[in-house]
Amino acid sequence: MKTKLDPSADLSAQIAGAIRDAIIDGTLPVDERLPSEIELCEQFDVSRSTVREALKRLAAQSLIRTQRGATGGAFVKRLNYADAYAQQITTSTLLLSMNEVDFATACEARFTLERACAPLSAKRRTPDHLVTMRAEIHRQGQSGLSDEAFCASDVAFHRALVDAAHNPVLSYQLAGAVEAMQPLMNMITFTARDRDKIIRLHTDLANAIEQENAVEADRVLQTLASETNAMADTVFTARAGR
Amino acid sequence: MKTKLDPSADLSAQIAGAIRDAIIDGTLPVDERLPSEIELCEQFDVSRSTVREALKRLAAQSLIRTQRGATGGAFVKRLNYADAYAQQITTSTLLLSMNEVDFATACEARFTLERACAPLSAKRRTPDHLVTMRAEIHRQGQSGLSDEAFCASDVAFHRALVDAAHNPVLSYQLAGAVEAMQPLMNMITFTARDRDKIIRLHTDLANAIEQENAVEADRVLQTLASETNAMADTVFTARAGR
DNA sequence: GCAAAATTAAATGTCAGACTTTTAAAATTA
DNA sequence: TAATTTTAAAAGTCTGACATTTAATTTTGC
């Protein structure tokens, strides 16, 4: 952790980069304490503000945590699933919303990944995930539900489906795919008939998963994908017509 | 962008959070200039150091870019695929390396996602991706190739496979899954026979994709997944025996 | 009058130093 | 010995200065 690189970037970015590399390659193991801010000033020969800006960059990426007080300091943080989820979702959401990714592309990615997950979910589902799925289906049927609430429940349903695969890495990867779609889905106003159709497919899906029927689950997901695309098409062309 | 939240966190984290929320919900559109650091000091009633630490947090997440000079400032950054890839890979890599995710779990997640991608790749593959795949297969066969170089080529091969689906969102999602495996793969020392077996499967896979044979591609990927697991098992049990 | 050069101003980047707050350990006291 | 107080180390915050970069403005030279 003595040499930095890329003299084009800011000092704080260079320092953050050097420390980040040391964390990634394992030179700095989890829970290791970094040198104090003052010591880092001396090591990198910069002022404390610069060191602090570097540390804030690392904290923003959940690479370190800081602790005040006598035995405090900056420590290499064990990246947990919750933090990783949050970052994934932020990044995915912005990537979709800022790059004019069309609905069809995002939708395809999401359902492709979800279909990959379904066979595992069918094989390994446990009662708790089935309960969650059924509960969300019930919520989706309630009258007076706003479009946002409907979409939120949709996300919860699909997350339960994914989590039923009992592979945390898979859940993490799909969190972004599923959640990032929500803002796009929120742009759609679902008619009562649309909702009915979705609810029926969700029910079919939950049944298939319960019966450990991977083939049927895949079929339903494929239908759900094309129906979702069709609904989006209807809404968007209607809007364009106006 | 007037009210902040969570008084438990540091001021710089609160401010960064407030601005981040404004970016995510679209209040601050892409390329919008944030107020200058001095103006932010007044708005949030904090010192310039604190504002700067907040801005560095946002910069670390690729949410803003800064520009010096007369017409400079901090601007909302359009998150591009390259930056999103990089963040995904860092996060995924650390998640795997820091959480003692066992090889089988990571491997399952990766190949599950890749298998989902393959039918699309088979349908849409263009010559350039086939060329890349063939080139990497050729490299993998060269003698004197280090394990790291072999793994790197493996990653390049699989990325080409994924990119052949021509869905940038899918490519982005899978980048993490594929690249994050590399450090785990690097822990394996492949015997010459292992390499031969992998190269043969890669060739089969490239052929299947070229022939737009999704079923065969899936079969090969399944074989590749189980072979990879078997090789890892052999290496790890041998190491445990020592 | 026009083009090149010099100046200016606004913004971020960096530095130095002081003070505040938090926290755990050490020292003191009952 | 246990509760209390003190101390010290560390991050968090503030202030003010100076450096650097950059575009706009002004001046100068022809």
DSSP string of A70-131, one letter each residue: TT-EEEE----HHHHHHHHHHHHHHHHHHTT--HHHHHHHHHHHHHHHHHHHHHH--HHHHH
**CA–CA dist A82, B240 (Å, integer):** 32
- Across chain B, mean pLDDT equals 91
pTM strictly above 0.75: yes
Question: Does the pLDDT value for residue B114 go beyond 80?
Answer: yes
Question: What pLDDT was estimated at residue B91?
Answer: 92
Residue A24 is nearest to which of B81, B93, B169, comparing CB atoms?
B93
Question: Does the pLDDT value for residue B187 go beyond 90?
Answer: no
Cα end-to-end distance, chain B, whole Å: 60
Tell me the shortest Cα–Cα distance from A167 to chain B, in angstroms: 6
Question: Does the pLDDT value for residue B198 go beyond 80?
Answer: yes
Q: Are B208 and B216 in contact (CB under 8 A)?
A: yes
φ/ψ (deg, to 5) at B174: -85, -15
Residue B169 is nearest to which of A94, A106, A170, comparing CB atoms?
A106
Nearest protein residue by Cα to C1' of nucleotide D9: A70
> Which residue reads 């939240």 in tokens?
B5
Q: Who contacts B40 (Cβ-Cβ below 8 Å, separation ≥6)?
A: B15, B34, B51, B54, B55
Question: Does the pLDDT value for residue B90 go beyond 90?
Answer: yes
Q: Which residues of A touch B59 (CB under 8 A)?
A: 13, 57
Question: Does the pLDDT value for residue B8 go beyond 80?
Answer: no
Q: What is the DSSP letter of B33?
A: B
Percent with pLDDT over 70 in chain B: 97
Report how far apart, in Å, the C-alpha atoms of B201 and of each of A181, B219, B220 are. Answer: 35, 10, 6
Question: What pLDDT was estimated at residue A239?
Answer: 75
Question: Does the pLDDT value for residue B109 go beyond 90?
Answer: yes
Quick one: closest CA in B to A14, which residue?
B60
On the 0-12 / 13-18 / 19+ scale of CB atoms within 10 A, B66 is middle
Is the Cβ pair A173, B109 closer than 8 Å?
A: yes
Question: What pLDDT was estimated at residue B131?
Answer: 97
Question: What pLDDT was estimated at residue B192?
Answer: 84
- Determine if strand D comes within 7 Å of the CB of B242: no
Question: Does the pLDDT value for residue B182 go beyond 60?
Answer: yes
* pLDDT: which is higher, B44 or A175: B44
Question: What pLDDT was estimated at residue B5?
Answer: 58
Nearest protein residue by Cα to C1' of nucleotide C25: A70
Is the Cβ pair B63, A99 closer than 8 Å?
A: no
Q: Which residues of A touch B87 (CB under 8 A)?
A: 61, 87, 91
Task: pLDDT tens for chain A, 242 residues: list them.
Answer: 434 456 678 999 999 999 999 999 999 999 999 999 999 999 999 999 999 999 999 999 999 999 999 999 999 999 998 999 999 999 999 998 897 788 889 999 999 999 999 999 999 999 999 999 999 999 999 988 998 899 999 999 999 999 999 999 999 998 888 888 888 888 887 888 889 999 999 999 999 999 999 999 999 999 999 999 898 888 878 777 76
Token code pair at residue A128: 């708790």
Question: What pLDDT was estimated at residue A181?
Answer: 86
Question: What pLDDT was estimated at residue A5?
Answer: 58
Tell me the shortest Cα–Cα distance from B132 to chain A, in angstroms: 23
- Determine if strand C comes within 7 Å of the CB of A72: yes
**CA–CA dist B124, B6 (Å, integer):** 48
Residue A94 is nearest to which of B24, B109, B167, comparing CB atoms?
B24
Question: What pLDDT was estimated at residue B2?
Answer: 40
Token code pair at residue B197: 């077996």
